[in-house]
Amino acid sequence: GAGVSQSPSNKVTEKGKDVELRCDPISGHTALYWYRQSLGQGLEFLIYFQGNSAPDKSGLPSDRFSAERTGGSVSTLTIQRTQQEDSAVYLCASSLTGDSYGYTFGSGTRLTVV
């Protein structure tokens, strides 16, 4: 596509439920990143995918968080048993080369856990 597409744009869920957030990167971009911004905080790195390499999951805050990238394209971030502290804007970005230059961001998913 022309840009990075994220869905849903807003999600309200009850504490304890699982949620899936989707990111559709720019076609041909080999690198895909997930970040989140909690209220008053900076953008926090979550996970990085580069081509067929094993993803860097070092930013995932707990084992309730997982992500996959199918066919080197679409990525899904799954949060199991959501907690109120998971409330944040989740941003996806893709990059042609993965060297931190030329990020293109999606417009984010605002997750609210009630």
Partner 1 sequence: ILNVEQSPQSLHVQEGDSTNFTCSFPSSNFYALHWYRWETAKSPEALFVMTLNGDEKKKGRISATLNTKEGYSYLYIKGSQPEDSATYLCAFHTGGFKTIFGAGTRLFVKA
List 25, 60, 82, 108, residue binding partner 1 (CB under 8 A)? 108
The residues, ordered by sequence, that sit 6+ positions from 55 with a Cβ below 8 Å of its Cβ are: 47, 48, 49, 67, 69
111 part of the interface to partner 1, by CB under 8 A: no
Residues numbered 15 to 54 that lie near partner 1 (CB under 8 A) are 31, 33, 35, 37, 40-45, 48, 50
9 part of the interface to partner 1, by CB under 8 A: yes
CA distances from 9 to 1, 52, 78 (A): 17, 28, 15
> Which residue's CB is nearer to partner 1, number 71 or number 101?
101
Residue 114 CA to residue 112 CA, distance in Å, equals: 6
Contact set with partner 1 (CB under 8 A): 3-4, 9, 31, 33, 35, 37, 40-45, 48, 50, 56, 91, 98-101, 103-108
